[in-house]
């Protein structure tokens, strides 16, 4: 199956299973979305949502987190992985937003990626889900599936993002990256499909017999 045909089949399957793609991280604003995405590193969305449901009603602006200070932020998020590092980032980025951006989340990759704790993937999620800008955030799920589906060589997440952007129409990116995440969690899981059992894998590679060993992000 050539690349164009493969892309058509993947889009067809994903659009049928996931016609709607709600944002998995609960948030109240672009700022709380940014915080939730930062917290989600090495942590499940469900755990982040469980923690933030008691935080955001009281603390939902940069000024709130500046006033709280790092130690109090740590206590609020202590059930989340690497909470000390994340608390420091939240405190520092809140200060930077107030000092340089009038307390608002910047609407461009350059300024977002200058914020403490914010890398390209986090910036891409905020640009996509917060501002509606066409972006293709690549997490471990997407990186793994793109390899299983023969869409990238799997060198790293940067290369995977470039490859996917070349293959799929720009208008599909914002919805598609969420569809792939949902599909990876439900059907093409890390320790189940291995490239030979789910609908997309069997459609793209009907004759594949050996399991696919993917390169880590």
Indicate if 4 belongs to the active site.
no
End-to-end alpha carbon distance in the chain: 26
Sequence-separated (6 or more) residues with CB below 8 Å from residue 36: 25, 26, 27, 48, 49, 52
Distance CA 182, CA 177 (A): 9
Catalytic one of 6, 86, 121, 163: 121
* Contact predicate 37/25, CB 8 Å: yes
Give Cβ neighbours of residue 123 (< 8 Å, ≥ 6 apart): 109, 112, 113
In angstroms, the CA 100 to CA 133 distance is 22
Our answer to whether residue 139 is catalytic in this structure is: yes
Chain-centroid distance of CA 95 in Å reads 24
Is 99:112 a contact under the CB 8 Å cutoff? no
Q: Which of 71, 72, 78, 139 is catalytic?
A: 139
What residues act catalytically? 121, 139
């Amino acid at each position: 199956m050539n690349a164009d045909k493969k892309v058509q089949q993947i889009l067809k399957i994903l659009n049928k299973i996931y016609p709607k793609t709600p944002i998995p991280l609960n948030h109240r604003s672009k700022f709380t979305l940014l915080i939730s995405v930062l917290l989600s590193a090495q942590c499940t969305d469900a755990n982040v949502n469980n923690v933030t449901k008691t935080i955001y009603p009281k603390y939902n602006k940069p000024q709130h987190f500046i006033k709280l200070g790092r130690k109090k932020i740590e206590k609020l998020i202590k059930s989340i992985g690497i909470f000390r590092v994340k608390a420091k980032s939240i405190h520092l980025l809140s200060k930077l937003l107030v000092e340089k951006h009038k307390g608002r989340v910047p609407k461009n990759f350059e300024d977002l990626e200058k914020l403490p704790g914010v890398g390209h993937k986090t910036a891409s999620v905020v640009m996509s889900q917060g501002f509606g800008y066409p972006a293709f955030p690549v997490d471990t799920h997407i990186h793994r599936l793109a390899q299983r589906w023969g869409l990238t060589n799997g060198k790293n997440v940067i290369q995977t993002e470039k490859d996917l952007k070349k293959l799929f129409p720009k208008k599909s990116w914002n919805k598609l990256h969420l569809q792939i995440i949902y599909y990876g969690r439900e059907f093409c899981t890390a320790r189940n499909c291995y490239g030979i059992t789910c609908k997309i894998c069997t459609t793209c590679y009907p004759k594949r017999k050996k399991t696919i060993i993917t390169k880590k992000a």
